[in-house]
Amino acid sequence: MAKEIKIAQGQHLADVMDQIPSNVILNKVITGCGATTLEINAARNSIIIEPNVPVIVGKATKHPNVFPVYEKVTFEDVEAYLQKQIDGYRKIVTTPEGYDKKVKPALSKHIKNYKESFFLLFDECEKIIQDVDYRGDIYLPVDDFFSFSSKAMVSATPIIPRDPRFEEQGFTICKVMPDYDFRHKVNLRITNNTVVILRELLKHRKSEICIFINSTDTIHRIIRTLGLQDNCKVFCSEKSVKKLRAQGFMNAEQNLQDLADVNFFTSRFYSAVDIELEYKPTVVLLTDVIHAPFSSIDPATEVIQAIGRFRQGVKDVWHISNTNPGMPYYSGSQLEAKLQSQENVYLQVARIAPQNGWEHDAKQNALNGMPYKRFVTTSGNKNYFMWDNAHDDERIKYYYTNASRLIEAYNRAPLIVNTKEWYRTLTDSDRLHRESEAITKPKRWQTVIEQVQRLTDSNDGKIPEESITNELGEQFKDMVHAIRVIGPKRIEILKYNDRQIADEVKKIEHFSLVRKELKDSVYELYTEGMTEKVDEINTMMKVLLEENRIVPIGRVDRRYIELFFDIEDAKIKGVRYFKLIHRKLK
């Protein structure tokens, strides 16, 4: 049974309800309308479970009456808070892990019947389903949740769970429906080269840019590829901060700080965090399902949540994504049959009555080794949220198997979508191949040469060097230049030796400059058929180089006059001469 409450533009939840009712899943529809603020100000003791630390830090900064619980807060700190006298009501905001390891034990020790005297609110409740597969501890408070007398779940983008306890306890859906068009506009760009489109966006951006991508490794590759080291920041988990710093990138933070021109955010910033800015940024969601399948995002939840982080609004929104036709996935019925079969076998083993210690150990080893083990709670019950998670994962995989399915998913979401497909000669796979640390230097040269040739061929041989560099990335600029200047065959003859290739490029460019700058002067002094002393010609060439401020490579010798004439050696009375046969330049 669902109830609907209307909300007008500019209103907050506090304007349309006194407090969050118990035993509801509150679908607030729009982000930033003040659900947690409503509970923080409610006339009752509250425990608010938030998905990630940055959210808690933000709430505690805004609301002095909040007691935040995360990794740096100890059990003893929670005890002290529960024992001290306060004016008003206790407001504990905690991570799921903090609740299970610190808040619950402290409450059990110091407050009798705390499940009667506290209201428990699970904020951004879809995260329990979306994150439980890789972050099992997020589920820890769920069993406790159902034993509280007063409780609710809330999100702007809830996924309705299948756990039967919701129905058994009479939960209802309460939907807060805006009476205006609240949909955000999203520019969906489906491509086979995500980084090239991102580069174009960065090149033409007119505001600060915030990029959401659920892969720290991909973020680091993009920063290197696009040369963003000096003007970007990455906001991610503490573990990822350490990883990035170990790789030499120091501008990484686990909590929100001042933003840079370009900012990257991982999944912990997709929901609930308030990002307060004095400007409206460009928001980019980047998905590479070929090399980082877990970077796929759900248009109906994560896209909306990411946009909603910016409390002053956004300038525009882009989702850049590739697709992967070869990505395996299960349909809903196939997955249900698979999980049901695994559960049947698991339960059969679980029912075995061991006759001795060896049989007991064998049974436990068998249960722990089964894939279905992760679908069972620590208390041995069916983990319905893991089932929901598996269905959610397969549904999102399906979206990204081709462009039409992703577009369909967007069209079903409460968004206004502008879709374009843009396919390039070089793909994300090509980029990863040339950037791979596993390939040898000769193989990297061969790869880049092959890709430059493909780009050249696809443009009828007419493509500026700058365009090739833009396509391949700044770190390949010197290689692209060498390929254009001395050619693949010469590079192969030089056995892909970087120093020798660089020297050859320098020579070619130097003599090309000499031809251009000295041409008129040389042909004013010398004409075909003249025979001049070698020393005098070399001296004159040296003078011309100095006049044009060109530093010679090595000695000024026959190499320089040969840029302008075919010559023959001659000797007259023991003195060396050059005979200028044919003029080379027009």
Burial 138-160 (b: 16+ CB within 10 A, else e): bbbbbebbeebebbbbbbbbbbe
DSSP 400-427: TTSHHHHHHHHHHSSEEEEEEEE--SS-
**For residue 173, which amino acid is it?**
I
Q: Are residues 52 and 104 in the same domain?
A: yes
Q: Are residues 404 and 392 in the same domain?
A: no
Q: Are residues 277 and 304 in the same domain?
A: yes
Question: What CA–CA distances, in Å, run from 320 to 231, 291, 337?
Answer: 21, 14, 34
pTM above 0.75, yes or no: yes
List CB contacts of 555: < 8 A, sequence separation 6 or more: none
Q: How far apart are CA 295 and CA 564, in angstroms?
A: 59
pLDDT one digit per residue (tens) for the chain, 586 residues = 578 999 999 999 999 999 999 999 999 999 989 999 999 999 999 999 999 888 898 899 999 999 999 988 999 999 999 999 998 999 999 999 999 999 999 999 999 999 999 999 999 999 999 998 888 888 889 999 999 999 999 999 999 999 999 999 999 999 999 999 999 999 999 999 999 999 989 988 888 999 999 899 999 989 988 889 888 999 998 899 999 999 999 999 988 888 999 999 998 888 768 888 999 999 999 999 988 898 999 999 999 999 999 989 999 999 999 999 999 999 999 999 999 999 999 999 999 999 999 999 999 999 999 999 999 998 889 999 999 999 999 999 999 999 999 999 999 999 999 999 999 999 999 998 998 889 999 999 999 999 999 999 999 988 999 999 988 988 899 999 999 999 999 999 999 999 999 999 999 999 999 999 999 999 999 999 999 999 999 999 999 999 999 999 999 999 999 999 999 999 999 999 999 999 999 8
Q: Are residues 489 and 550 in the same domain?
A: no
- Backbone CA torsion sign across 237, 239, 240, 245: positive
Domain boundary among 439, 461, 496: 496
386: tokens are 């893991």
Q: Are residues 458 and 356 in the same domain?
A: no
Whether 509 maps to a domain, the answer reads: no
Return the axis-axis angle of helices 477-493 and 498-525, rounded to nearest 10°.
Answer: 90
Q: Are residues 470 and 370 in the same domain?
A: no
20: tokens are 């969050």
Q: How far apart are CA 80 and CA 207, in angstroms?
A: 46
Q: Are residues 240 and 274 in the same domain?
A: yes
DSSP 148-175: SSEEEEEESS------HHHHHTT-EEEE
Q: What is the domain-level CATH number for residue 44?
A: 3.40.50.300
Instruction: Return the bridge partners of 45, or none.
Output: 118
Residue 414: what pLDDT? 96
DSSP 473-489: -GGGHHHHHHHHHHHHH
How many domains does the structure of the chain reveal?
5
Domain boundary among 161, 178, 195: 178
**Domain, as residue range, for 363:** 332-398
266: tokens are 């991982």
Residue 404: what pLDDT? 97
Q: Are residues 372 and 468 in the same domain?
A: no
Whether 479 maps to a domain, the answer reads: yes
Whether 513 maps to a domain, the answer reads: no
Pairing of strands 252-253, 282-287: unpaired
Task: Note whether 514 and 560 are within 8 A (CB).
Answer: yes
List CB contacts of 564: < 8 A, sequence separation 6 or more: 515, 518, 519, 522, 523, 526, 583, 584, 585
Q: Are residues 406 and 280 in the same domain?
A: yes
List the alpha helices (DSSP H) in 41-186.
53-62, 75-83, 96-98, 104-110, 114-117, 126-131, 142-145, 164-168
Q: How far apart are CA 538 and CA 556, in angstroms?
A: 6
Residue 226: what pLDDT? 87
Whether 504 maps to a domain, the answer reads: no
Task: Note whether 189 and 318 are within 8 A (CB).
Answer: yes
530: tokens are 């003249």
Whether 505 maps to a domain, the answer reads: no
Q: Are residues 320 and 295 in the same domain?
A: yes
Q: How far apart are CA 507 and CA 561, in angstroms?
A: 15
Domain boundary among 370, 390, 422: 422
Q: Are residues 131 and 10 in the same domain?
A: yes
Whether 502 maps to a domain, the answer reads: no
Instruction: Return the bridge partners of 211, or none.
Output: 264, 284
Whether 503 maps to a domain, the answer reads: no
Q: Are residues 26 and 167 in the same domain?
A: yes
Residue 133: what pLDDT? 84
Question: What CA–CA distances, in Å, run from 34 to 159, 286, 471?
Answer: 20, 28, 44
